[in-house]
Structures are given as structure tokens and as C-alpha cells.
A and B are shown apart, each in its own frame.
Chain A
Amino acid sequence: MPELARHPQLNRNGELHHLLSIEGLPRAILERILATADSFINIAEREVKSVPLLRGRSVFNLFFENSTRTRTTFEIAARRLSADVFNLDITRSSTTKGESLLDTINNLTAMQADMFVVRHASSGAPYLIARHVAPHVHVINAGDGRHSHPTQGLLDMYTIRHYKRDFAQLTVAIVGDILHSRVARSAIHALSILGAPEIRAVGPLTLLPGGLEQMGVRVCTRLDEGIRGADVIIMLRLQNERMRGALLPSAQEYFRNYGLTPEKLKLARPDAIVMHPGPMNRGVEIDSKVADGMQSVILPQVTFGIAVRMAVLALAASSQRAS
């Protein structure tokens, strides 16, 4: 059991059983997921856009927090693996009637679920579910609170690897609300596991968490300093609710200081790529000319995200018998 506590995501053979967080995953697992995703990229171009790998398996999308895009890409991924997919919009079902999270899970397990894809506003909720489910059931974290969004981190790595091949020479700038961003946290962990030598967190002091330096991240409070010479720029979504608190003065001022415009993008390397997890606030964190420009890889990220999620589902399901 202590071994299980150390690696709640891996089975005894060291294979991926749940995907809860990038943190703590061995580099070999990350690389295997990215390599497996390569094989799923072309499937959408065939006459039949699915493979029979997960035929007969039941994948339950449990979204305790709304996210149409993430839910849809997980659903497409599971269907392209021929799994049976059930979408449960729990924000407006049982939990509002007072059912506890674990009662919900018990009920769904009794419906013969093989896999849960979980989105929850509370950090750690997927861990609680993973500890609770039967040994043959797999849990995939689709975003929990501020903590982690591992499939987003993986698709970001897939995108970077696609355009830049090797992580060993890269300077990657992550710009925006790092403090509240599970996307940033997952990307930072993934980049350091894959050996990116310079990771920069760029944003106003009020949106930068403590402890970044200890993670090997260079902290920049000025955008020009943060993106100068960067190979990859990951722009984060600025959530509107942050404006209402004391963290930021206004969207206009944020755009003036941290919005990525074509002029500012010139500070990065000429072949730099611009990424964004979506949905974008045009004119707040990113100028439309950049979002739709030559260096933007925001739409390929969405396409790659399906292949990466297929790889995660397939690899987790394939660890079943060894656990």
C-alpha cells in the first residue's frame, strides 16, 4: 500500500492505471503517451474514423463543472476508440439533490462503468474517486480546481514536440493568470519532466503563485522580458471573475501590459509558436491578429488533443489486467 500511495496513478508494473496529475509521472510514461498519440492522428482521415480498441467498454464523462470543449473532445476520443460513452451533466442532477460524490460514484459503478473522466471544481476530487473505485475502474482527471489538467498538459507537450521536435533546447513562456491555472501547473510539470531547460512564468505579481523558483521556473513580471527569445508562448485565459476582485484593475489595462500583440510577439524567436488552451478572450490576453496569425497553433492543439486523449484512454484501459 505505501507504494500505491506514492504512485496513485501507476499499477504494480509501473503502467498508467489512472491519470490524475502530470506531477510524479515518469518521463517514460509521458513519452509513451505522446508516441501512442502519433498512431491515432491519422485515424480521423480514414473512411471509418474509429478503431475497435475499447469496444464494449463504458466510459462515463462526469462533469461536475461545465466545460463543453473538454467534454466534447473526451467524448470524441472515447468514441473513436469504439467505447460506449455516457455524458452525465452532474452540475444539474443528483448532487443538487444532496447526493454525496462517493454515492454518485457507487451508483455509476453499479451501472458497470469501466472508466470515469472527471471534471470537478475542487482540487483533489479525482484522487478521492480513484481511491474509492473498484480495482478494474480507471479515473482520468479532466481538470480539478486549480490543481491539475493533465490531458491539457499532455496535448500542449504533443503540440510543442510536433513543431519543435526536441525539448532539450527550448525556452517556454507561460503568460497570464498562473495563480489560478491548472493548465499552467500541468504544463510546468510536464516541461520539467521532459527536460525543457528554461520555463518562464509571466504575469502580474498578484497572479503569480509562490514557490515557482523552487520548481525551476523563472518568474517575469514584464511581458517583454518574459517572451524575449522564447520558442514557445503559452497564453492563458484570463477569467472574467478575476477582474471583479482586487487582483486586476481592468481588462484594458491587462491587455496593455500582458496582451500578446504582433509587435510584442516580435520579441520572441521568429519561429516561435503561440498556444492557448481556449476559450480565448480576444483583446484581453491575446490580439486577434496573433490568435489568427501564422505563428498560432491554437487550432492544431484542439486536433492533437483528441489523439492525446485517445492515447490516455487506451493506455489506461490496457493496464487493466496487470494491476
Chain B
Amino acid sequence: MIDLDAEAIYRRFAGRVREQLAGRDVRLVGVRTGGVWLAERLKDALDVKHPVGILDISFYRDDFNRQGLSPTVKPSQIQFDVEGQNLLLVDDVLFTGRTVRAAMNELFDYGRPARIDLAVLIDRGGRELPIEATVVGATLEVPRDVSVVLSRNDAGAFHLTLEQRGA
């Protein structure tokens, strides 16, 4: 059975991130949009002092020639110097790995981090690049034409839904 209790998965995820961060000075960087929600909630829950970095990877996507520019592109906001820092890149769903590659490329244009770890709420398999997460909330197996979508209600609670793509 696929367990889609997003809040339960998030609690497990946050616990694993806490272990990962223990005793280390780490800055959180969320990938817009779901990754930013997660990073902001982690910052409060784990009492991270630094502001959350926000990445919009629209300018780094490898499918620009086919898809064009995202109509919802917003500025990235990294309010700290990434040079020499430990970064925890946070995203909602890890699939092909292309988003993570784009995010790392963008981060390196801000400076040279000492280390980047990756935390994802859901690892759904299907990698097309040699990229793995350091922290995973839950692993799902879903068909390639199904999207795993994280949403957030007004109270800040997470929901996960499976959506048929192209529908």
C-alpha cells in the first residue's frame, strides 16, 4: 500500500533531517515551490538560525529549448554567502534528478559550497542522472506518467496527491 499521509511522512522526514544536521552548521536551500515550503517548516522545527535560501531553477533547466521559459519564474533569493558553507538542498519530490542538477548548477554560480546534501520528502525513483538524496522521507513507486504533487493548505499542513499527467 502506498502511504500518502503527507504529515506523517513529513514528521519522519524532519526527524531524519534533524539527525543529519546534528552538531553541524548547515544552511537550508529550498527549490521553489514545494522545497521552499519544506525548508521553511524545517527551519522553524529544527531552529535553524540562517534564513532559508530560495532557488528558482527556471534559468537553469535543461529543457528550455523544448519547453520555453516558465511563466511563473520568480527571483532566486540566497541571502547568505554560499562560499565554503554546508548546504542542505531541500525539494519535495526526487524523480529524474534533472531539477537537482539545475539547482546545484545555480548554487555554484553563487559561490563554491564546502558541501551540498540533498533532502527530499519523496523519492519516486526513475533517475536519469547519477544523483541520490542524503535524506528521504518516503520512497514511492509510481508509473512514469503519474505526478506526485505536494500541496499546502492555509493552516500550513501538507497534502500529497497522485495526478495523471496530461489530464
Contacts and interface: CB of A to CB of B under 8 A. Distances in A.
Interface of A: 15, 32, 35-36, 38-39, 41-42, 46-48, 50-53, 314-315, 318-322
A314 B68 CA distance: 9
Contacts of A15: 68
Given A39-B58, A39-B75, A321 B68 contact: yes
B113 to A, nearest CB: 11
Contact of B64 (A41, A47, A318): A318
Contact of A38 (B65, B75, B106): B75
A36 to B, nearest CB: 6
A34 B73 CA distance: 12
Contacts of A39: 56, 58-59, 73-76
A48 B109 contact: yes
Interface size class of B (residues with CB under 8 A): 20 to 34
Contacts of B80: none
A42 B66 contact: no
B110 A47 contact: yes
Given A39-B73, A315-B69, A321-B68, A47 B111 contact: yes
B66 A46 contact: no
Contact of B109 (A46, A319, A322): A46
Binding site secondary structure of chain A: helix
Contacts of A50: 109
Contacts of B58: 39
Contacts of A42: 75-77
B130 interface: no
Interface in B77-131: 77, 83, 105-106, 108-111
Contacts of A47: 83, 109-111
B156 interface: no
A32 B71 contact: yes
Contacts of B74: 38-39
13 contacts: A39-B56, A39-B59, A39-B73, A39-B75, A39-B76, A47-B111, A315-B69, A318-B64, A318-B69, A319-B68, A321-B65, A321-B66, A322-B68
A15 B71 CA distance: 11
B60 interface: yes
A52 B105 contact: yes
A36 B73 contact: yes
Interface string B39-59: 000000000000000001011
Contacts of A52: 59-60, 105
